[in-house]
Structure 1
Amino acid sequence: MTEVEKKEFVTLLEKHQNIVHKVCRLYTNNYDAHNDLFQEITIQLFKAYPKFRGDAKFSTWMYRIGLNTAITLYRKSKRRIQTQEFDTVEFKISQEEYDDTTEQQLKLMYQALQQLNDIDKALVFLYLEDKNYSEISETLGISEVNARVKMNRVKTKLRTILNP
């Protein structure tokens, strides 16, 4: 990779690093695991960057690599990753932006999301990121119709979990 490509990559990674942090938050349970996964995703992105053709947006490509890396590492570990309490996670968002109600709702949502399988988690994650079904299907490598069907099933499953 040339120096120009390396600088482009670093600039793009800095601009979109929150994508990687969000993926890490979804698939890890503590600060060290978050940092390890962030590093692994960054390495995979760096290795794959010379092959990035620009057919999709950089952020879509980044989601795909990040989610695939997280899912692959999760499956290799063959153990369920536990979630970390929401209030102990460090974000670049100041704590006063959240009131107790919002924080409690987020805790419940993360607990419900942990009960989903890897693909369903990724689907919800992209949906919550305001990705349209075309972008979701492209990122996950499934058809748009399949993405819509899966999303409806996941919504039903989450409703059941959150409102027993």
Structure 2
Amino acid sequence: MESIKNFDIIIIGGSYSGLSAAMALGRSLRNVLIIDSGKPCNIQTPHSHNFLTHDGVEPAVIAQRGRKQVLAYPTVNFVSELAIEGTRTKNSFQITTSTGKKFNAPNLLFATGVKDLLPDISGFSDCWGISVIHCPYCHGYEFNGKKTESHASCFADK
């Protein structure tokens, strides 16, 4: 017989937005499960910007601090796995992870962010978010007045 754990809400995605939601819910004494694969879209980004009190901080550091703060609430739980399947039942959602664990909750929140679809150009993905800049809010200030092609140095050895 398989073991299924029940929660008030399951949050899929444990980066900034998922952690923010979990904090509010944990402070409301809700039984929360965060499922996160550990592969954020900003994994290569050297510094976070436009995030008040965290401008210039590495994204992984921000996420680690957030996770520590959120997990201080005893009703918040964290599973480091990939959610691979979701099923709607009469009164809840059942989420299955990559290792076959199953979790139920009447509420489900997707906080998965975005996934960038990169072109198949040699070296492009290695430079994404570093010298291949894509967001004026994340990179605009640092690259203001500069030609972006002059920053493609990571393509030089490819």
- Scaled by the length of structure 1, the TM-score of the pair is 0.26
Which structure: greater strand fraction?
A: 2
Largest Rg, 1 or 2: 2
Which of the pair has the greater relative contact order for Cα pairs under 8 Å at 6+ separation? 2
Which structure: greater helix fraction?
A: 1
